[in-house]
Amino acid sequence: MPYLEETVLAVVVVAIGLIATVVLRPAVLGTRAGKVLAFLALAVMPIVATGMGLSAHMETSKRTEFCLSCHVMEPYGRSLRVDDPSALPAAHYQNRRIDRDHACFTCHTTYTMFGDVKAKMTGLKHVYVYYLGEVPKKIELYEPYKNRECLHCHDGARSFEENEMHAEIRADLDSNATSCLECHDVAHEVESETKP
Amino acid sequence: MNDESTPLDPRLVRRLRISGILVGLGLTVEAVTLFWAHPTAFLAFLCIGGAMVGAGILVYLASLVPA
């Protein structure tokens, strides 16, 4: 939804205005209209604003800026900007094959809050570890990277379909028997991008 | 619709004020966090803003029960 944050802000401002009326002029509650006003201000609008706000935060968490706001992700952010055409993240990011504002989420669509319940619990675990636990020195995916993350863009693309190697192993690519990363193996080379 | 004003129970007014303050502060916290792209903002939205709004709504609903 476009302008979601602004819409939530508008609902919040109107709700606070109505709440101020109820709190500062309680006499309005003596009328039926006042009771309806109080119900809107103290129950309906806060629930609507909170629901929309939650949705806005979920959308925000898809943004590259959000992912890279944790300092442990900074090397992964740098891997988008390295001068190496063979590096997958850099090639996609620098050639605008992906939306730069959603660079992480485009290739990690089931990550943390956007997968199933297990993924959401993992997302909360990350928050816990970041603030209260110990972040592992080497950050790894919980399961092997699935070709689905590549094929949701490349499937049907002419450059992909006309490649002979892809055609030969297409069934294996579709079933994950062969990983795209077996050939395209330069992903996030974080160690070489971490400053000493 | 009957719009005649009826006298208000002071306890009801006090609970509605508490509810209004909680919901108002909670909504303010929620609004502020919306413009900060960081996991802390999400936590503040949910744990502080959401909790205050939830508590305020509960106080409001509780105020209706005796009435």
**What per-residue confidence (pLDDT) applies to A173?**
94
Q: How confident is the model at residue A108 (pLDDT cuts 50, 70, 90)?
A: confident
Residue B49: closest C-alpha in chain A = A50
**What per-residue confidence (pLDDT) applies to B9?**
81
| Distance from C-alpha of A79 to C-alpha of A187, rounded to nearest angstrom | 8
Quick one: A149 exposed, middle or buried, by C-beta within 10 A (0-12, 13-18, 19+)? middle
Residue B1 pLDDT exceeds 50: no
User: Which carries the bigger pLDDT value, residue A99 or residue A123?
Assistant: A99
Assess contact for B17 and B46: CB atoms under 8 A: no
Residue B7 touches partner A, C-beta closer than 8 Å: yes
**What per-residue confidence (pLDDT) applies to A191?**
66
Between A12-21, A53-62, A80-89, A184-193, the lowest mean confidence (pLDDT) is in A184-193
Residue B55 pLDDT exceeds 90: yes
Residue A15: closest C-alpha in chain B = B24
| Distance from C-alpha of A110 to C-alpha of A132, rounded to nearest angstrom | 24
Q: Which residues of B touch A112 (CB under 8 A)?
A: none
**What per-residue confidence (pLDDT) applies to A190?**
67
Q: How many CB pairs under 8 A join A and B?
A: 115
Which CA distances in Å does A94 have to A27, A76, A153, A160, A193?
62, 14, 17, 19, 16
Contact flag A54-B1 (C-beta cutoff 8 Å): no
Quick one: A79 exposed, middle or buried, by C-beta within 10 A (0-12, 13-18, 19+)? buried
Phi, psi of B3 (to 5 degrees): -105, 20
**What per-residue confidence (pLDDT) applies to A196?**
44
**What per-residue confidence (pLDDT) applies to B31?**
95
In A19-58, the residues whose Cβ lies within 8 Å of chain B are: 19-20, 22-23, 26-27, 29-33, 38, 41-43, 46-47, 49-50, 53-54, 56-57
**What per-residue confidence (pLDDT) applies to A113?**
66
